[in-house]
Amino acid sequence: MSPNGFKKVYSVFSTRYPFVKITHSEVHTSTRRYIVPLTAFKESRHVVDIIMNLSGNTFLFRRVGAFVNLSDLPNFKRLPDYAHAKDNITVVTRQRYWCMSYNKKLVKESDLPRTWDDLVNGTRFADKKLMIGNRPNNWVLALWQTHGDAWGEEFVRKVFENLKPQLRKEGLGALVKLTGLGEGHAAVPQAMSRVGQYAQTGAPIGFHCPLPVTTALTEAGIMSNSPHLNGARIFLNWFISREGQIAQFWADGSNPVRTELQRKEFLAFPEAVAGKKVAEEGEDATKAKLAKAWNARWLKASGGDAKKR
């Protein structure tokens, strides 16, 4: 979170808890976010109390027992099951939905696939009608993790062989505009927030999430050697409360994770995700398998040679 964003969040928090003082630091490198705190922890030193935006690196802290169990936070039980680590050492503080955009002039709602299997097994979006950005971790990773290796390998094969999509090298933001212009009938992966912003300009673009819904989750944990454990718990519990989640949305537009906040006030397309099952978060081992399968087919389909990469 940016300093300005945190300043807004803290203004709400400090009104309720004026006795808890927090110093916020924005970091942009893995060295400062992970390596420095972990090195200090291993040397029995303390440098930080709460770490946010773990970007899938929870396992580094798990290995050395650096995070506390958060299941005793009052608001922990109010989060959906997917919004905390299986061993309860992290909680999700925000999420970003990554699904598909579609051109509303070219695609009827009845054409939209109910599941991701329906997308790759059907013909509606085959033969260059679907544009794909080279960011499989934003959508295929969670699906692979949820359904297993055999399903994942077959799904990737079908994406390229059955659909024969347009392989786009533009950024994902550009894909939103290309969809609205009718360059393709639909595109993946697409962020709900970006599609929503473009739709507000009057562009004929919609957003749809086949089952299960794929998301990017932002996790937070509390260092077990923190000398300020009580204050850290108070803040993190508040941050995942209704008030904290709404304050975060007000500060930087982040999608809240709490189920009761998945509605039009906080989401551009709440109907695309409301009540739907969410895919599991991808693990490092799955990332490696996906990269191997995806990169080989992407390079082959785009005229490259996987062996030369």
Tens digits of residue pLDDT in 215-258: 988 899 999 999 999 999 999 999 999 999 999 999 998 999 99
Dist CA 224 CA 217 (whole Å): 22
Element (H, E) at 243: helix 242-252
pTM: 0.82
- Judged against a pLDDT cut of 80, whether residue 170 lies above it is answered with yes
Structural domain contains residue 143: yes
Structural domain contains residue 234: yes
Task: Say if residue 252 is in the same domain as residue 288.
Answer: no
Structural domain contains residue 70: yes
Number of domains in the chain: 2
Tens digits of residue pLDDT in 74-130: 999 999 998 998 899 999 999 999 999 999 999 999 999 999 999 999 999 999 999
Q: Which two tokens stand for residue 191?
A: 């962020």
> Whole domain around residue 139: which residue ranges?
97-212+279-300
Task: Say if residue 64 is in the same domain as residue 164.
Answer: no
Structural domain contains residue 306: no
Nearest CA to 205 among 217, 220, 215, 190?
190
Task: Say if residue 55 is in the same domain as residue 151.
Answer: no
**Cβ-based neighbour number of residue 14 at 10 Å:** 13
Structural domain contains residue 146: yes
Structural domain contains residue 152: yes
Question: How far apart, in Å, are the Cα atoms of 199 and each of 45, 101, 105, 185, 206?
Answer: 49, 10, 13, 15, 7
Task: Say if residue 174 is in the same domain as residue 256.
Answer: no
**Chain centre distance of CA 290:** 17
Dist CA 217 CA 234 (whole Å): 22
Strands (DSSP E) found in the chain: 50-52, 91-103, 130-133, 166-168, 186-191, 205-208, 215-222
Task: Say if residue 113 is in the same domain as residue 155.
Answer: yes
Structural domain contains residue 79: yes
Q: Where are the alpha helices (DSSP H) in 25-94?
A: 30, 36-42, 58-63
Structural domain contains residue 16: yes
Task: Say if residue 118 is in the same domain as residue 247.
Answer: no
Tens digits of residue pLDDT in 197-213: 999 999 999 999 999 99
Q: Which two tokens stand for residue 305?
A: 């040679």
Task: Say if residue 164 is in the same domain as residue 249.
Answer: no
CATH number at 284 reads: 3.40.190.10
For residue 211, give the DSSP letter.
B
